[in-house]
Amino acid sequence: MRISERGQITIPKQLRDRFGMNCNVEVEITPTNHGLLIRKRTASNHPVERLYAILGRSGNTDDYIKDIRGR
């Protein structure tokens, strides 16, 4: 595979079919220690992932609940 002048790549049809990456499917590209991770973006994230994003790595649920309840 090659990257075009516009930064585009073509995912082979066999892989698109295998992973359900059809026309107009949105994807996320995440840098990792081994390169780039490309995965389908889902309509809604799992509730745990949404909470993790809100809290960050150092937060905890007790502080978050106090904040949203205004205490």
- pLDDT per residue as tens, the chain (71 positions): 789 999 999 989 999 888 888 888 888 899 999 999 998 877 655 666 666 665 665 667 777 777 778 76
Can you give the pLDDT at residue 4? Answer: 93
- At 68, give phi and psi (nearest 5°): -75, -25
**Model confidence pTM above 0.75:** no
- What's the pLDDT at 69? 85
DSSP 30: E
What are the CA-CA distances from residue 49 to residues 20, 37, 54, 55, 64 (Å)? 22, 17, 9, 10, 15
Are the beta carbons of 31 and 38 closer than 8 angstroms? no
Q: Tell me, what's the pLDDT at 14?
A: 93
* Domains (range + CATH), the chain: 1-40 (2.10.260), 44-71 (no CATH)
Question: Are 29 and 38 contacting, i.e. CB atoms less than 8 angstroms apart?
Answer: yes
pLDDT number for residue 24: 82
